Chain A
């Protein structure tokens, strides 16, 4: 049986933990709102970019000089996995589920006899993957201490991937990130970056009138050479934003749970404390009464 003093200290320590977790929950909630609106603001560009890309891709399809980023290198040997995680913990399974997804994908590809390279975005992902697949990890970036994701961050990653592709170091690139579904659920999503997946069905789905032939200025390939890296950056930017919104959602949920657990714990400890206090009083009363009786 712990003494009264021990119980009091425990209760106080749990109370201060609860204060921290509930503050973190509030901070996560406000950051979530900001991240969500940023993700929404970025959507129009991505949608329109996709429309232009589909038109271009359909126009150059089958051309022998089509850029590598669109059709791939023709080989399927070296895979790059870009794993997007958060820079901080205390967000439930947010980071570890990306780690697991990236690892599973890597194992599967390795079992097929392919070489796997991993690029980690976010400090937590780097730490996780370095522990388990250090030999495959070729680079990492993290945005710890940054207030918000900027487009230039995504551009930087895209440039590194483009350089790797140009040097023939990779054939296929896949992005693994947490898609923001709702505050309580983030879906681990794998998106192929290179070769660019072009929706095949789009052509038939549209009415013939809007399938007008575009004129291109300058020619298709010059535009594509500039558009594809931009598209890559956009895809990454979108993933970074989704991931950051998802991260705050996950953190909010985790901290909400922690606050509730702390509340339960305080209740239980307080009950124990009061019981012990009452037992002490009863014991003392008995001692006094029996002492008084003995004196009579």
Chain B
């Protein structure tokens, strides 16, 4: 029995098909979703979604953050931004990292929520760089 995977970005529905397993980058560590998973709502960090079919990874997608809703039958990823590996670039990741670091430095050090948001952006940019460098 497969699990129904849906990946949506604000602009459009990117993917909707049954897969054997999907590994999503949840905020507290990667999460493998198989059919019959207990219902969860998780936050995503920047990282790579891996789709497993027939015992191997058939495709990977980079997400810069977002949310996922998991039920026993399906897994819905609400991504802020989705990029296929071919569109990842080191330069873009560096630019984002520099931007996030500058924003972090400029942010009010008492505003914990804003600082955390910037930290997440930095993490997301680093993950993007890693993903861009991976073969």
Which residues of A approach B to under 8 Å, CB–CB? 38, 41-42, 44-45, 48-49, 51-52, 55-56, 151, 154, 210, 212-218, 222-223, 225-227, 230, 233-234, 237
Q: Contact partner of B76 among A48, A151, A213, A226, CB < 8 A? A: A48
B13 touching A45, Cβ below 8 Å: yes
Additional 6 contacts, C-beta under 8 A, given A45-B8, A226-B117: A45-B10, A45-B12, A216-B42, A218-B27, A226-B43, A230-B80
B71 interface hit (Cβ, 8 Å): yes
A225 touching B113, Cβ below 8 Å: yes
B11 touching A41, Cβ below 8 Å: yes
Taking CB atoms, residues of chain A closer than 8 Å to B39 are: 212-215
Taking CB atoms, residues of chain A closer than 8 Å to B10 are: 42, 45, 151, 154, 233-234, 237
Taking CB atoms, residues of chain B closer than 8 Å to A237 are: 10
A48 touching B78, Cβ below 8 Å: yes
Closest 4 CB pairs of A and B: A41-B12, A44-B13, A217-B42, A151-B10
Taking CB atoms, residues of chain B closer than 8 Å to A42 are: 10-12
A45 touching B40, Cβ below 8 Å: no
Q: Contact partner of B41 among A44, A154, A216, CB < 8 A? A: A216
B123 interface hit (Cβ, 8 Å): no
Chain B's nearest CB lies how many Å from the CB of A35?
Answer: 13
B53 interface hit (Cβ, 8 Å): no
How far apart are the CA atoms of A38 and B8 in the complex, in Å? 14
Taking CB atoms, residues of chain A closer than 8 Å to B71 are: 210, 212
Q: A41-B13, A151-B10, A217-B27 in contact; A223/B67 too (CB < 8 A)?
A: yes
